[in-house]
Amino acid sequence: MNKSYSGYICQDYKPRQDDLVAEFFLEKGRGASFAEACQAIASESSIGTWTEILTMKPEIAERLSPKIFSLNYSSGIVKIAYPIALFEKGNIPQLLSSIAGNIFGMKEVKNLRLEDIDFPAEYVSSFKGPKFGIEGIRKILRVPHRPLLGTIIKPKLGLSPEGHAQVAFDAWIGGCDLVKDDENLTSMAFNNFEKRVKATLAMRNSAEKITGERKAYMANITAPYKEMLKRAKFLKKQGCEYAMVDIVSVGWSALQELRNENLGLILHGHRAGHAAFTRNPKHGISMLAIAKLCRLAGLDQLHIGAIFGKMEGKRFEVKKIGEEIEHKIVHKDFGGHVLAENWLNIKPMLAVCSGGLHPAKVPLLLKALGNDIVIQAGGGVSGHKGGVIAGAKAMRQAIDAAMNEIPLKVYAKMHDELRTALEQWG
Amino acid sequence: MNKSYSGYICQDYKPRQDDLVAEFFLEKGRGASFAEACQAIASESSIGTWTEILTMKPEIAERLSPKIFSLNYSSGIVKIAYPIALFEKGNIPQLLSSIAGNIFGMKEVKNLRLEDIDFPAEYVSSFKGPKFGIEGIRKILRVPHRPLLGTIIKPKLGLSPEGHAQVAFDAWIGGCDLVKDDENLTSMAFNNFEKRVKATLAMRNSAEKITGERKAYMANITAPYKEMLKRAKFLKKQGCEYAMVDIVSVGWSALQELRNENLGLILHGHRAGHAAFTRNPKHGISMLAIAKLCRLAGLDQLHIGAIFGKMEGKRFEVKKIGEEIEHKIVHKDFGGHVLAENWLNIKPMLAVCSGGLHPAKVPLLLKALGNDIVIQAGGGVSGHKGGVIAGAKAMRQAIDAAMNEIPLKVYAKMHDELRTALEQWG
Which residues does residue A329 pair with via DSSP β-bridges, in sequence order? A342
- Looking at residue B426, what is its pLDDT? 79
Q: Is the domain of B263 the same as that of B168?
A: yes
Answer yes or no: are the C-beta atoms of B245 and A225 closer than 8 Å.
Answer: no
- Looking at residue A3, what is its pLDDT? 46
The DSSP-derived string for A280-346 is STTSEE-HHHHHHHHHHHT-SEEE---SSSSB---HHHHHHHHHHHH-SEE--BGGGTB--EE-TTP
Task: List CB contacts (< 8 A) between B153 and chain A.
Answer: 55
- Looking at residue B261, what is its pLDDT? 98
Q: Is the domain of B230 the same as that of B98?
A: no
B383 touches chain A (CB under 8 A): yes
Q: Is the domain of B95 the same as that of B139?
A: no
CA A120 to chain B, closest CA, distance in angstroms equals 16
Cβ-based neighbour number of residue B263 at 10 Å: 16
User: What's the CA gap between B392 and B384, in Å, rounded?
Assistant: 9
Interface test with A, best of B156, B294, B296 (most A CBs within 10 A): B156
CA B64 to chain A, closest CA, distance in angstroms equals 7
As a whole number, mean pLDDT of residues B47-72 equals 90
Residues in chain B, how many?
Answer: 426
- Looking at residue A192, what is its pLDDT? 98
* Radius of gyration, CA atoms only, chain B: 23
Q: Is the domain of B346 the same as that of B223?
A: yes
Nearest to A273 by CA among A284, A261, A260: A284
What contacts A27, CB < 8 A, 6 or more positions away? Answer: A76, A109, A110, A111, A112, A282
Q: What is the pLDDT of residues A17-61, one digit of tens each?
A: 999 999 999 999 999 999 999 999 999 999 987 888 888 888 999
- A379–B49 CB contact, under 8 Å: yes
Q: Is B202 exposed, middle or buried (0-12, 13-18, 19+ CB in 10 A)?
A: middle
When CB atoms are compared, the residue of B94, B228, B384 closest to A222 is B94
CA B331 to chain A, closest CA, distance in angstroms equals 28
Domain count, chain B: 2
Q: What is the pLDDT of residues A145-157, one digit of tens each?
A: 999 999 999 999 9
Nearest to B301 by CA among B268, B253, B263: B268
- B251–A250 CB contact, under 8 Å: yes
Give me the total of CB pairs closer than 8 Å, taking one residue from chain A and one from chain B. 351
Q: What is the pLDDT of residues A272-296, one digit of tens each?
A: 999 999 999 999 999 999 999 999 9
Task: Name the phi and psi angles at A164, rounded to 5.
Answer: -60, -50
B192 touches chain A (CB under 8 A): no
A262 touches chain B (CB under 8 A): no
Nearest to A328 by CA among A135, A140, A79, A116: A135
User: What's the CA gap between A156 and A161, in Å, rounded?
Assistant: 13
Interface test with B, best of A47, A97, A376 (most B CBs within 10 A): A97
In order of A314, B80, B113, the CA distances from B39 in angstroms are 24, 10, 15
- Looking at residue A136, what is its pLDDT? 98
Q: Is B144 exposed, middle or buried (0-12, 13-18, 19+ CB in 10 A)?
A: exposed
CATH number of the domain encompassing residue A147: 3.20.20.110
- B60–A100 CB contact, under 8 Å: no
Answer yes or no: are the C-beta atoms of B217 and B201 closer than 8 Å.
Answer: yes
**A385, closest residue in chain B (CA to CA):** B54
Q: What is the pLDDT of residues A70-81, one digit of tens each?
A: 999 999 999 999
Using N-to-C axis directions, what is the helix angle for B388-403 and B161-174, rounded to 10°? 30
**Segment among B72-76, B230-234, B354-358 with least mean pLDDT:** B354-358
Residue B198 has pLDDT above 70, yes or no: yes
Could you list the beta-strand ranges (E) of A198-288.
Answer: 216-218, 242-246, 266-270, 284-285
A98 touches chain B (CB under 8 A): yes
Residue B4 has pLDDT above 70, yes or no: no
Using N-to-C axis directions, what is the helix angle for B161-174 and B193-211, rounded to 10°? 20
Beta strands B301-303 and B109-118 are unpaired
Cβ-based neighbour number of residue B79 at 10 Å: 20
Task: Name the phi and psi angles at A281, rounded to 5.
Answer: -70, -10
- Looking at residue B2, what is its pLDDT? 46
CA A298 to chain B, closest CA, distance in angstroms equals 13
- B257–A254 CB contact, under 8 Å: yes
Task: Give me the sheet containing B216-218, strands edge to edge.
Answer: B216-218, B178-180, B148-152, B373-376, B350-354, B301-303, B266-270, B242-246
Domain boundary among A69, A94, A124: A124
Residue A327 has pLDDT above 90, yes or no: no
Q: Is B108 exposed, middle or buried (0-12, 13-18, 19+ CB in 10 A)?
A: buried
In order of B277, B286, B287, B317, B333, the CA distances from B320 in angstroms are 18, 12, 10, 5, 10
Task: List CB contacts (< 8 A) between A56 and chain B.
Answer: 154-155, 158
- Looking at residue B124, what is its pLDDT? 96
In order of A312, A318, B44, B331, the CA distances from B84 in angstroms are 29, 35, 16, 21
What contacts A226, CB < 8 A, 6 or more positions away? Answer: B257, B260
Domain boundary among B90, B124, B158: B124
Answer yes or no: are the C-beta atoms of A276 and A285 closer than 8 Å.
Answer: no
Nearest to B100 by CA among B121, B85, B117: B117
**B356, closest residue in chain A (CA to CA):** A50
Q: Is the domain of A91 the same as that of A169?
A: no
When CB atoms are compared, the residue of A88, A92, A226 closest to B187 is A88
Q: Residue B218: which H helix or E strand, with range?
A: strand B216-218
- B225–A253 CB contact, under 8 Å: yes
B56 touches chain A (CB under 8 A): yes
CA B26 to chain A, closest CA, distance in angstroms equals 13
Q: Which residues form the domain of B298?
A: 133-425
CA A144 to chain B, closest CA, distance in angstroms equals 31
Q: What is the pLDDT of residues A62-110, one digit of tens each?
A: 999 999 999 999 999 999 999 999 999 999 999 999 999 999 999 999 9
Q: Is the domain of A70 the same as that of A213?
A: no
- Looking at residue B38, what is its pLDDT? 97
Task: List CB contacts (< 8 A) between B310 and chain A.
Answer: 50, 106-107
- Looking at residue B50, what is its pLDDT? 79
Return mean pLDDT, chain A: 94
Using N-to-C axis directions, what is the helix angle for A161-174 and A388-403, rounded to 10°? 30
Task: List CB contacts (< 8 A) between B379 and chain A.
Answer: 4, 49-51, 53
User: What's the CA gap between A50 and A44, in Å, rounded?
Assistant: 8
Q: Is the domain of B255 the same as that of B230?
A: yes
Residue B135 has pLDDT above 90, yes or no: yes
B88 touches chain A (CB under 8 A): yes
Q: Is B85 exposed, middle or buried (0-12, 13-18, 19+ CB in 10 A)?
A: middle
Nearest to A172 by CA among A212, A199, A145: A212
- B253–A228 CB contact, under 8 Å: yes
Answer yes or no: are the C-beta atoms of A374 and A366 closer than 8 Å.
Answer: no
B93 touches chain A (CB under 8 A): yes
With cut-offs at 50, 70 and 90, classify the pLDDT of residue A337. low
Q: Is B315 left (phi over 0), alpha (psi -120 to 50) or beta?
A: alpha
End-to-end CA separation in angstroms for chain A:
58
Answer yes or no: are the C-beta atoms of B232 and B263 closer than 8 Å.
Answer: yes
Which residues does residue A244 pair with via DSSP β-bridges, in sequence order? A220, A268
- A105–B260 CB contact, under 8 Å: no
User: What's the CA gap between B37 and B27, in Å, rounded?
Assistant: 8
**Dihedral, B359, B361, B366, B368 alpha carbons, nearest 10:** -170
Using N-to-C axis directions, what is the helix angle for A193-211 and A225-237, rounded to 10°? 30
Nearest to A304 by CA among A380, A396, A402, A374: A374
Q: Is B27 left (phi over 0), alpha (psi -120 to 50) or beta?
A: beta
Using N-to-C axis directions, what is the helix angle for B362-369 and B388-403, rounded to 10°? 50
Residue B325 has pLDDT above 90, yes or no: no
Half-sphere exposure of B387 (CA within 13 A, CB side): 9
Q: Is the domain of A263 the same as that of A408?
A: yes
User: What's the CA gap between B170 and B147, in Å, rounded?
Assistant: 20
Q: Is the domain of B225 the same as that of B347?
A: yes
B157 touches chain A (CB under 8 A): yes
B51 touches chain A (CB under 8 A): yes
Q: What share of chain A is helix, strand, coil (3-state, %, to 5)?
A: 45, 20, 40
Interface test with A, best of B53, B193, B231, B247 (most A CBs within 10 A): B53
User: What's the CA gap between B408 and B196, in Å, rounded?
Assistant: 36
B223 touches chain A (CB under 8 A): yes
Residue A232 has pLDDT above 50, yes or no: yes
Q: Is the domain of A209 the same as that of A253?
A: yes
Q: Is the domain of B91 the same as that of B156?
A: no
* Contacts with B, A 294-313, CB within 8 Å: 310-313
Active site residues of A: 154, 270
CA A171 to chain B, closest CA, distance in angstroms equals 12
Interface test with B, best of A8, A185, A245, A277 (most B CBs within 10 A): A277
Could you list the beta-strand ranges (E) of B279-349.
Answer: 284-285, 301-303, 329-330, 341-342
- B388–A55 CB contact, under 8 Å: yes
As a whole number, mean pLDDT of residues B200-212 equals 98
A43 touches chain B (CB under 8 A): no
- B48–A155 CB contact, under 8 Å: yes
As a whole number, mean pLDDT of residues B302-311 equals 83
Return mean pLDDT, chain B: 94
User: What's the CA gap between A232 and B416, in Å, rounded?
Assistant: 61
When CB atoms are compared, the residue of B46, B249, B312 closest to A97 is B249
Beta strands A109-118 and A284-285 are parallel
Q: Which long-range contacts (CB under 8 A, 24 or more apart) does B126-129 make?
A: B126/B89, B126/B90, B127/B90, B127/B296, B127/B297, B127/B298, B127/B346, B128/B259, B128/B260, B128/B262, B128/B298, B129/B295, B129/B296, B129/B298, B129/B343, B129/B345, B129/B346, B129/B347
Domain boundary among B124, B150, B178: B124
**Who wins on pLDDT, A336 or A297?**
A297
User: What's the CA gap between A176 and A187, in Å, rounded?
Assistant: 24
When CB atoms are compared, the residue of B47, B60, B184 closest to A94 is B184
As a whole number, mean pLDDT of residues A420-426 equals 94
**DSSP 8-state class, residue A42:** H
Q: What is the pLDDT of residues B338-361, one digit of tens each?
A: 777 889 989 999 999 998 899 999
Cβ-based neighbour number of residue B329 at 10 Å: 9
Beta strands B284-285 and B242-246 are unpaired
User: What's the CA gap between B165 and B182, in Å, rounded?
Assistant: 14
- Looking at residue A142, what is its pLDDT? 98
Q: Is the domain of B146 the same as that of B255?
A: yes
Could you list the beta-strand ranges (E) of A145-223.
Answer: 148-152, 178-180, 216-218
Residue A2 has pLDDT above 90, yes or no: no
pTM of the model: 0.96
**DSSP 8-state class, residue B220:** B
Active site residues of B: 154, 270
Interface confidence (ipTM) of the complex: 0.96
Residue A336 has pLDDT above 70, yes or no: no
- B276–A285 CB contact, under 8 Å: yes
Which residues does residue A130 pair with via DSSP β-bridges, in sequence order? none
Q: What is the pLDDT of residues A346-376, one digit of tens each?
A: 999 999 999 889 999 999 999 989 999 999 9
**A70-105 burial: b if 16+ Cβ within 10 Å, else e:** bbeeeebbbbbbbbbebbbbbbbbbbbbbbbbbbbb
